[in-house]
Structure 1
Amino acid sequence: MTPIPVITTDRLILRAPTEGDVAAFAGFYASEAAQFVGGPMKDFEVWRYTAEVLGHWQLRGFGRWMVERKDTPGAIGLVGLHAPLDWPEPEVGWMLWGGNGKGYASEAGRAARHFAYDTLGMTTLISQIAPGNAASVRVAERMGATREMPDNVHPVYGTLQVYRHPGPEAAE
């Protein structure tokens, strides 16, 4: 089994998802904010999705982490690396349900990107963003990603805008 590393930043802890995270994750997926990431979902669907997140680590050797603030226990988001078979290339992605507007998504996203470049040896990453998701566009741009054309048309999620992240030599 692939161990899921714990990553810390100045304010955050990125850690493996647990069953205890499902309630907060399900709350996010029941909200309007989840419209940009495949929601809404019912609680049992979120439980299965959490199992999928864990399985990605086993199949690919990398994946996404639950994010929590160092000063307050409890998951506030899911951030990390994603590369299922139907993705054009590895992605760094984020979804936060706590602490929006405080820079947590870009802080955690940068930590995940550094892991991809420094630990895994990846040389490029994208972020795919649903049209209309202005908050995610701001996060991608804060991380130095630039819009790339053409858009990706996914068979399930439809049109996704592609943002290319700077490579390892230019990433902050």
Structure 2
Amino acid sequence: MSLHAHITGPTLTTERLTLRQPVMDDFGPFAAYYGSDDAGWVGGPLDDRTAYRWFSAMAGHWTLKGYGWFWVDERDSGASVGFVGPHFPPHVDDIEIGWVIYPQAQGRGFGHEAAIAARDWTVKTLGPERLVSYIDPGNAPSKALARKLGATTDGTRAAHDAGCEVWQHPLEAA
């Protein structure tokens, strides 16, 4: 008997990446990332118990809403490089497209490549009225990626997290 979930959601592919639903094997890299200081911009560092709750919530979003975070693998090596995708928990105002690329995979354009695929899938599949990213103003790499995706901000803060700016994505970009 397999202890791993069967992936039933969409799989997206780009030139170098595969984007898919999370499986239990993804928790190890996720916990390692969230246990480090590198996760400071996205709510970390976290202990393993809290990381597991977050991971489970992100994985469960697929069951509850029919979409969610895609886990991103490098196609050539199969290595997990991070996660990206749409999510819309009940405490936020808009569907958000978020991204995390693990430190060892940064600087190779994976964030941009994965975010484009996830953003385009989100716009085509979900048809949101608005698509945003919530970004800490000090997170220069995330802001640079948002700009590269065509997103803009006027400095408005997120209602659910006054520490984050709301970056709005153009829907016609997809």
TM-score of the superposition, structure 2-length normalised?
A: 0.89
Superposition deviation, residue 153 in structure 1: 4.2
Provide the rounded CA distance (Å) in 1 between the counterparts of 2:122 and 2:143: 20
Aligned to 1:163: 167
**Aligned residue runs from structure 1 range 123-162, under 5 A:** 123-154=129-160, 157-162=161-166
Q: What amino acid maps onto 2:37 in structure 1?
A: E
The answer to whether residue 10 in structure 2 is matched with residue 8 in structure 1 is no
The answer to whether residue 120 in structure 2 is matched with residue 114 in structure 1 is yes
Structure 2 runs not aligned, ≥5 long: 1-6
Provide the rounded CA distance (Å) in 2 between the counterparts of 1:53 and 1:4: 14
SS in structure 1 at match of 2:29: helix
The answer to whether residue 80 in structure 2 is matched with residue 75 in structure 1 is yes
Q: What amino acid maps onto 1:152 in structure 2?
A: A
Superposition deviation, residue 123 in structure 1: 3.9
Provide the rounded CA distance (Å) in 2 between the counterparts of 1:102 and 1:74: 14
Superposition deviation, residue 76 in structure 1: 1.2
Provide the rounded CA distance (Å) in 2 between the counterparts of 1:3 and 1:139: 29
Structure 1 runs not aligned, ≥5 long: none
Aligned to 2:47: 42
Q: 1:105 aligns with which of 103, 111, 132?
A: 111
Bigger CA drift: 96-105 or 127-136? 96-105
The percentage of aligned residue pairs carrying the same residue is 38
Q: 1:24 aligns with which of 4, 10, 29?
A: 29
Q: In 2, are the aligned partners of 1:9 and 1:111 still within 8 Å (CA)?
A: yes
Provide the rounded CA distance (Å) in 2 between the counterparts of 1:148 and 1:92: 18
Provide the rounded CA distance (Å) in 2 between the counterparts of 1:160 and 1:13: 29
